[in-house]
Amino acid sequence: ILFQIFDAFKSRLHDSNSKVNQVALETMHKMIPLLKDNLSPVINMLIPAIVDNNLNSKNPGIYAAATNVIQALCQHLDNYLLLQPFCTKAQFLNGKAKQDMTEKLA
């Protein structure tokens, strides 16, 4: 059921409506401390949805919300779960997003 929930939720994480996108990121930020390592089955699906476009967003609210989500992931999930998806994203991103992901990896 976790897959079904987050499969539907991930499209909100990069919704074309910036307000929907930002609220989805803010909601994700609130869910992470509650779900913690239980997110492991969906982490490979979530990280691209969180990072793609959002970390390079020119909208300061979306960028801040995405940064907060990444920070919450680092605080509440086992770093081992984040290593591979973060490495993959750092390899293929550009601009500020690449810098942000590289800093998190370091």
In the Cβ-directed half-sphere of 20, how many Cα atoms lie within 13 Å?
9
Average pLDDT over residues 63-90: 96
- Asked if the model's pLDDT at residue 1 lies above 90, the reply is no
* Domain enclosing residue 3, as ranges: 1-104
**Rounded CA separation 98/101 (Å):** 5
- Count: domains in the chain: 1
Rounded distance, CA 106 to CA 32, Å? 22
- pTM of the predicted protein model: 0.94
Indicate whether 57 pLDDT > 90: yes
User: Could you tell me if 33 and 72 are in contact, meaning their C-beta atoms sit under 8 angstroms apart?
Assistant: yes
Which pLDDT does position 4 carry in this prediction? 93
